[in-house]
Structure 1
Amino acid sequence: MQDAELTIIGGGLVGASIAWGLSRSGVKPLVLDGSDLDLRASRANFGLVWVQGKGLHAPDYALWSDSSAKMWPAMAAALCDDSGIDVGLVQQGAFTFALSHEELEAMRADMECIAFETAGRAAAFEMLNGCQTRERLPQVGPDVAGSVYSRVDGHVNALRLFHALHAALTRRGVSYRPNHRVDAIEPASDGFILTGNGFSILSRKIVLAAGLDNERLAPMVGLSCPLKRSKGQILVTEKCKPFLPCLSPTIRQTDEGGIMIGDSEETDTTSIASSSDISAVLASRAIRVFPALADLSVVRSWTGFRVKTADGVPIYDHSARHHGAFLVACHSGVTLAANHALVVAPQIAASELSDELSSFSARRFHAEEIA
């Protein structure tokens, strides 16, 4: 049996961010990961560092997202120092567009509710009508009824971020083992026995950061991770010169030139295949916002399953029954990467999550009765 002090189950953006943060705290975790063909949110995300609109009826989540976005410049600089890779962080503000007055008023109500529920501490925003939006962005089409603008939002090159985290882990001497799916976790007197195909590991502490697989693994250590199915689809256009005048949560131009179009959700399927009907809707809405997009060709499309908890709010937990077992689950792996690396990881290294994270425990789902 192999021996480890701390093992992270999951090597996606969440697991890699925590592993990198732990290595900066003087801990070299063992990272066990699945295979390339697993349902990985890390390779299918939109790359946003996003605060606007997050945390409706969950004020702690709104403030948690805002704090992570503010720490992203420090994380990007430190990660570049460790990996030699610039992840392309840009935080110059963003617009969310409404294609009807009903959509705009619904956005207004949500943003005002978040401001009220956070006692005005959430990120500032502006509501713009159609004319005001086109004054700032003349390229916007006539179907746009208005928009919400927030100056704190931004984006990164998500695949480069993933590469940078793993490169930094290698340089810091962290052991990463792909194709090591954990089939079972057995609590023991001196830690946890992790078993899979061809391996058995005794680890003093563990962190469940396995995305969709957290739901299966959590009960093995007295925790719970209730998830809901949420499949998203993304279109990518041919590369072109800098074209978009702004960032939005559904349309963004990467630093490599391609334009990504997204924001679909399917909750009734397990298929990873793309849907032509959804592609048509995504393309149509994007062209209504920026008519000039009609001149570009779509070169590829992909789908992915979000790691979305039952209420959409992250879960951070430490098992009361089996001390040394931690769990992290969220669908904001890019936005919250700075918090995971710079805040959560040091707490795990110290073997205790702070009281500030107690509102994110799965106990809000009465998890102790389920587990």
Structure 2
Amino acid sequence: MTADAVIVGAGIVGAACAAELAACGMRVEVLDEQGIGGGATAAGMGHIVVMNDSPAEFALSRYSRELWLELAPQLRPCDAFARCGTLWVAADDEEWQAACAMQAVFAAQGVAAELLGAAALRECEPALAGSMAGGLRIGHDSIVYAPTVAQWLLTQSPGAANIRVRRGAQVTAIGVHRVTLADGERASAAHVIVANGLGAQRLAPWLPLQAKKGHLLITDRYPALIRHQLLELGYIKSAHHASGTSVAFNAQPRPTGQLLIGSSRQFDTTDPAVEMPVLAQMLQRAARYLPVLPTLNGIRAWTGFRAASPDGLPLIGPAGDRAPGVWLAVGHEGLGVTTSLATARLLAAQITASVAPIPVEPYLPARFTERDCHV
């Protein structure tokens, strides 16, 4: 065997898994047909956020945020880590009540969350529309430029000497202790880990993954226009539609002074082209919250595809009888960056038969029966 572990995928999840296993002393080979930090990692916002759509999502995202905060002092300026916080914006009284309920849940779990009334919200973020009812500030949420962090994890993290990365390596099949490349070469290892997002469906078509297309737009530089990652409280509802197209307000202040504007969700297409009607709908939604937005200069728009599981939670653990000896780290939807470090810890704990830092059961692939999987 050429390595202790072969990882398919050099995005943020694959890179985190490689760094974690290498730190355990394993020799790790990472294969990617493109390069480090591409795919969904390059297309996303890099928002590190505690989400509470379910107890399992809350546990995984909270633990992973803790790991990001521990890692942050080692990162470089080019990794663009910033603890800007998340500000959930309530547009009306109903959403203000939702903010209050969300704060109570966070407080009960020991996560700092501060309610801001309408006046405090305007003082905190003057660019927001004056009609907003209030907000909820999560102070330790952060942002990061995930593609360069993936590169750091694979080349400069403490175990990086144990990691070999092969770019331009297209994996076409997986098996017990081996993967097969497009040129017929086989790479063998004690553990095969699939961490290439939607690409996993080509290797394991039975996986219950669905593509979620999203649009983003970045503006010219407008320093200090906003200070926090801003999200509408309606985002939680619209982000989890099971079909069709939805948009929600999501704005991020980049360290460059630029604004990153989102977001959209589509289930009914795998076309990577920017769709102007969807982009327009997304920007119109954002302008309700940031009235200044139509006066700003947008310089680029793009799309990406998130790999979504039926229950919104990632698949972390053994693939099961359909692929003996194969491990999965896929299905993170829009939380791949947030939960990448925790995913790596949970996977490494299972591979090394050590105690996991949080319960792994909610994320095990075995929770999906054959009836849930694609034929």
- Give the TM-score taking structure 2 as reference length: 0.82
Residues 36 and 67 (structure 1), Cα distance of their counterparts in 2 relative to 1, 3 Å cut: closer
Q: Distance in 1 between matches of 2:84 and 2:154?
A: 27
CA shift digits 1:27-85 (9 cap, x unpaired): 1211111236998101101110011xx232x202202211111221222234x3xxx66
Give the paired residue count: 351
> In the aligned structure 2, how far is the partner of 1:366 from the partner of 1:87?
39
Q: 1:320 to 1:119 in 2, by over 3 A?
A: farther
2:145 is the alignment partner of 1:157: yes
* Structure having the larger proportion of residues in strand: 2
Provide structure 1 residue ranges, at least 5 long, that are not aligned to the other structure: none
Write the letter of the residue equivalent to 1:186.
G
Question: In structure 2, what is the equivalent of residue 364 of structure 1?
Answer: 367
* Cα pair distance change 1:103/1:280, threshold 3 Å: farther
Which of these residues, 190, 193, 198, is aligned with residue 204 of structure 1?
190
Q: Secondary structure at the match of 2:264?
A: coil
Per the TM alignment, residue 247 of structure 1 is displaced from its structure 2 partner at its CA by 1.9
What is residue 228 of structure 2 aligned with on the other side?
246
Cα distance between partner residues in 2 of 1:303 and 1:193: 30
Gaps of 5+ in 2: 232-249
Match of 1:3 in 2: 2
Q: CA RMSD in A?
A: 3.1
Distance 2:276 2:364 in 1: 39
What is the correspondence of 1:121-200 to structure 2 with a 5 Å cutoff? 121=109, 123-168=111-156, 172-187=161-176, 191-200=177-186
* Matching residue's letter, 2:313: V
Alignment check: 8 A CA contact 2:316 2:329 kept: yes
Shift in Å, 1:161: 2.0
Q: Residues of 2 paired with 1:101 and 1:369: CA distance?
A: 39
Please tell me whether the aligned partners of residues 18 and 344 of structure 1 are also in contact (alpha carbons under 8 angstroms).
Answer: no
Structure 2 CA distance for aligned equivalents of residues 163 and 231 of structure 1: 25
Identity of counterpart residues, as a percentage? 26
- Is structure 2 residue 316 aligned with structure 1 residue 338? no
Aligned residue for 1:285? 285
- Counterpart Cα distance in 2 of 1:295 and 1:21: 45
Query: 1:26 maps to what in 2?
Result: 25
Are the counterparts in 2 of residues 13 and 334 from structure 1 also a CA contact under 8 Å?
A: yes
Q: Contact (CA 8 Å) 2:107, 2:113: kept in 1 or not?
A: no
Provide, for residues 312-359 of structure 1, a one-character-per-residue CA deviation record: whole Å limited to 9, x for no partner: 112112245466421111132211133234x23542551568481112
Q: 2:87 aligns with which of 85, 95, 99?
A: 95
* 2:241 alignment counterpart: none
Q: Equivalents in 1 of 2:77, 2:20: separation in Å?
A: 17
1:252 deviation in Å? Answer: 0.8
Mark the CA change 1:365 to 1:273 in structure 2 (over 3 Å): closer, same or farther: same
Distance 1:291 1:193 in 2: 52
Which is worse superposed, 99-108 or 208-217? 99-108
Q: Flag the 1:62–1:85 CA change in 2: closer, same or farther, 3 A.
A: same
8 Å CA contact retained: 1:318, 1:352:
no
C-alpha change, 1:268 and 1:143, in structure 2 (3 Å) is farther
Residues in 1 aligned to 2:372 and 2:124: alpha-carbon distance in whole angstroms: 52
